[in-house]
Chains A and B, each alone.
Chain A
Amino acid sequence: MKKSRRSFLKAAGVSALGIGVAPAIQAVASSGSTPAALAAKTKHPEALTAHRWGMVIDTSKITDEVAENIVHACRKAHNVPDLNHEPDPEKYPKTRPVNHNQEVKWIWEEHFESAFPDKEDEFLAERFKELPFLVTCNHCKNAPCVQACPTQATFKREDGIVLMDFHRCIGCRFCMAACPFGSRSFNFRDPRPFIEEINPDFPTRSKGVVEKCNLCAERLAKGLQPACADVSEGAIVVGDLEDPNSEVRELLNEKYSIRRKQELGTEPSVYYIM
């Protein structure tokens, strides 16, 4: 994956040289490197890295208000369409009625018995029955969606983030059948009319492709915390699961935590402190 992109960029660089565009590009780029090398190696100096990214959600700190802010921040950061949004009639004059079962969501609220159906219990402490539980992509260590995807449009990065190439996805939705957490959404229609305000820093999707939480890979690369963690008032912490001194590991060491459907062996990277 990475390699093929790199070789593509190299090839692109070479052909650019070949047609004599190189001087122009080099004039713009910093001295001494070819554009290809730049594209392949440039990394934000403050980029956050990890051996295996993970997320810890402190369920006691998630109130309805916090949860709402998180969901909204995620939508805004990633241009996730909201089918409740009324499309602008001037820009999109002939928008057909919406089927709300075809919604798109990356992180959202669920009740305990939906987030943890295997732990459903009629004598569960009352407060858990009312609490909002945020669910999202678990960035599983053994991700069934990665295994199922026939084009490697869904792939796993070395740092554990399960990412998607929206331009390679053929929309077969095998990944949606494979995901045991219902974390994936399909663009049944053009999502753009349903984006309140387009964030120019992140691509919008076309109809016919699947999408899901990317753990804000684009923000981590710039040294920023994921959007959800940012507005969570400390309820969501993202960090390196394999670093024993990381904040996530300290939290997991201190408090009892559970993961969704652990018995399936997908090894979710999202932990819930109870």
Chain B
Amino acid sequence: MLEIAIKGSKKYWIWLGVLSAVIGAGFLVYVDQYINGLMTTAMSRDVSWGFYIANFTYLVGVAAGGVMVVIPFYLHNYEKFHRITILGEFLAVGALIMCLLFIIVDLGQPTRMLNVLLYPTPHSMLFWDMLVLNGYLFLNIVIGWKVLEAERNQIKPPAWTTPLIYLSIPFAIGIHTVTAYLYCGLPGRGFWLTAILAPRFLASAFAAGPSVLILLCYVVRKFTKFDPGWDAMQTLSKIACYALIANVFFFACEIFVTYYSKIPGHMTHIDYMFFGLHGHNTMVPWMWSSMILMVTGAVLLVIPALRSNATLLPFTCIMVIIGTWIDKALGMIAGGFVPSPLHHITEYMPTINEVAITLGIYGVGLLVLTILYKLATTVKEEVRG
């Protein structure tokens, strides 16, 4: 089936070339970071995780969002998702590969990363995160590939894929729950120390994942002969809508608990993010933009006439994606680390190097996604004849 990937139009090859250039540039910057250490980043003693872990967290959400097509199709036989299920699974594959790369570039000693396997440590949440992320990646590759292959040969997928598909559902919930547990089980970080964090992560994931998928459907419609189906895209936008509303609601719950109880250790982080603290206000415009984008996105998605406007929908999805990205990527890092446990304020904005490496990783993700989507759409075109 992989042979499909090496037969493409001129545009396809130009696109792959552009991505390779971005990846290559990112890789060169990474070589510098590898040689000189994480000094090339803006991370610090106080803000010890930065852009890499921020994007990691966000993309775990995008990967988990794929389950929003798997559940309706496989558990509820929702036929309209038949055509896009494979797109959801392959999106998860691309997102997970980026997640793993973000972890690797964040390590101070990447050559030692197998120590996590050599000294398995069940009391560390990172150990579990490693297990569920790799497990979910493996499941999606196997399921996606086998189901697509069967479709190409016009036979039923092998019976053993069914239990794997069912297994992939708790794994999808698991990857984001455990990723939230990385943060919310730490005693000294008031902003993260909240039981709503895992539900909030899932809610924002189920808004971001389907929004990305809708955008990808538009791309597929424009560049291939395969049509994922407008009805399927509309159902996706409804899922994104209610998940987004849940995310904003969960955040409102957090705000109530924090500001009604007035416990300083919890208030000070949100104060910093939304109002600035002692003159430090880098995050303020970002956080308000995030809120405006998410609320506007929810309004545009909840009103049927606006949701079903095919010209408006992609812009709404972009708003949701950017809003949830600021909320979960930038906000999670800034809110957690500023102010520090000693109430010092060290602000954080990534260096050019960090941004370049990040773009390189997004390049890898897009490359994987392009190839997988090419396979999927070509097979589907073939079958439809």
Q: Which residues of A contact B (CB under 8 A)?
A: 96, 99, 101-105, 110, 113-115, 117-118, 120, 135, 144, 147-153, 168-174, 176-182, 185-190, 206-210, 261, 264-266
List residues of B (72-130) whose CB comes within 8 Å of A's CBs.
Answer: 103, 106-110, 112-113, 115-116, 118-119, 121, 123-127, 130
Cβ-based interface call for B194 (8 A): no
Asked if B187 and A144 make an inter-chain contact with CB atoms under 8 angstroms apart, the answer reads yes
Beyond A147-B123, A171-B112, A173-B108, 13 additional pairs, beta carbon < 8 A: A117-B343, A144-B188, A150-B124, A168-B115, A169-B109, A170-B108, A170-B110, A174-B125, A174-B182, A182-B341, A188-B44, A189-B38, A208-B37
Grouping DSSP codes into helix (H, G, I), strand (E, B) and loop, the B interface class, with mixed when no group exceeds half, is loop
- Chain B residues within 8 Å of A208, by CB: 37-38, 107-109
Asked if A185 and B45 make an inter-chain contact with CB atoms under 8 angstroms apart, the answer reads yes
Tell me the smallest distance from the CB of A28 to a CB of chain B, in Å: 32
| The 6 A-B residue pairs with the shortest CB-CB distance in the complex, in nearest-first order | A171-B108, A180-B188, A208-B108, A101-B44, A207-B37, A189-B39
Asked if B343 and A176 make an inter-chain contact with CB atoms under 8 angstroms apart, the answer reads no
- Chain B residues within 8 Å of A206, by CB: 109
Q: Select which of B45, B110, B341 is within 8 A of A186 by beta carbon.
A: B45
- Chain A residues within 8 Å of B115, by CB: 150-151, 153, 168, 170
Asked if B45 and A148 make an inter-chain contact with CB atoms under 8 angstroms apart, the answer reads no
List residues of B (105-159) whose CB comes within 8 Å of A's CBs.
Answer: 106-110, 112-113, 115-116, 118-119, 121, 123-127, 130
Asked if B48 and A177 make an inter-chain contact with CB atoms under 8 angstroms apart, the answer reads yes
Asked if A149 and B342 make an inter-chain contact with CB atoms under 8 angstroms apart, the answer reads no
- Chain A residues within 8 Å of B41, by CB: 188
Q: How far is the CA of A169 from the CA of B119 in the complex (A)?
A: 11
- Chain B residues within 8 Å of A135, by CB: 342
Asked if B186 and A187 make an inter-chain contact with CB atoms under 8 angstroms apart, the answer reads no
User: Interface size of B by Cβ–Cβ distance < 8 Å?
Assistant: 47
Which partner residue on chain B sits nearest A1 by CB separation?
A: B119
Asked if B45 and A150 make an inter-chain contact with CB atoms under 8 angstroms apart, the answer reads no
Which partner residue on chain A sits nearest B344 by CB separation?
A: A114
Tell me the smallest distance from the CB of B304 to a CB of chain A, in Å: 43
Residues 357-372 of chain B: 1 if any A CB is under 8 Å from the residue's CB, otherwise 0? Answer: 0000000000000000
- Chain B residues within 8 Å of A181, by CB: 188, 341-342
Cβ-based interface call for B49 (8 A): yes
Q: Select which of B119, B189, B342 is within 8 A of A110 by beta carbon.
A: B342
Asked if B121 and A152 make an inter-chain contact with CB atoms under 8 angstroms apart, the answer reads yes
Q: Select which of A104, A148, A169, A190 is within 8 A of B124 by beta carbon.
A: A148
Asked if A170 and B182 make an inter-chain contact with CB atoms under 8 angstroms apart, the answer reads no
Q: A144-B187, A179-B188, A186-B45 given as contacts; is B39 within 8 A of A170 (CB)?
A: no
- Chain A residues within 8 Å of B341, by CB: 117, 179-182
Asked if B121 and A150 make an inter-chain contact with CB atoms under 8 angstroms apart, the answer reads yes
- Chain B residues within 8 Å of A174, by CB: 124-126, 182
List residues of B (33-52) whose CB comes within 8 Å of A's CBs.
Answer: 36-39, 41-49
Q: How far is the CA of A206 from the CA of B107 in the complex (A)?
A: 13
Q: Of residues A135, A149, A188, A261, which shows the largest number of chain B Cβ atoms within 10 Å of its Cβ?
A: A188
Cβ-based interface call for B346 (8 A): yes
- Chain A residues within 8 Å of B43, by CB: 102, 188
Q: How far is the CA of A118 from the CA of B264 in the complex (A)?
A: 8
